[in-house]
Amino acid sequence: MVVSMTGFGRSKKSLNQFSALVEIKSVNHRFSEYQIRMPRQLFHLEDKIKKKLGESIHRGRIEVYVTVEGDQLATRQVQVDWTLLDEYYQYITKIKDRFAIDQGLTVHDFIRDELISIEEKDAGNEEIERVVLAAIEEASEHLLHMRKLEGAELEKDLKLYLNEIAERINHLKELAPKVVQQYQERLTKRMSLFLEGQLDEARILTEVALFADKADISEELTRLLSHMNQFESTLQVNERVGRKLDFLIQEMNREVNTIGSKANDATIASEVVELKSCLEKMKEQVQNIE
Nearest to 185 by CA among 215, 222, 211: 211
Q: Name 25's bridge partners.
A: 8, 63
Nearest to 226 by CA among 154, 165, 178: 165
Give tens-digit pLDDT for 45-69.
Answer: 999 999 999 999 999 999 999 999 8
Complete DSSP assignment for 227-256: HHHHHHHHTT-SS--HHHHHHHHHHHHHHH
State the CB neighbour count (10 A cutoff) for residue 241. 21
**Looking at the predicted structure, is the pLDDT value of residue 287 above 80?**
yes
Highest mean pLDDT among 101-105, 213-217, 227-231: 227-231
d(CA 78, CA 113): 11
pLDDT of residue 280: 96
**Looking at the predicted structure, is the pLDDT value of residue 218 above 90?**
no
Highest mean pLDDT among 27-31, 107-111, 191-195, 256-260: 27-31
Highest mean pLDDT among 97-106, 114-123, 254-263: 254-263
State the CB neighbour count (10 A cutoff) for residue 286. 23
Give tens-digit pLDDT for 228-284.
Answer: 999 999 999 888 999 999 999 999 999 999 888 877 778 888 899 999 999 999 999
Q: From residue 278, how far is each of 164, 195, 219, 250 by CA, in Å?
A: 8, 46, 21, 13
d(CA 15, CA 207): 85
Question: Between 126 and 135, where is the model more confident?
Answer: 135
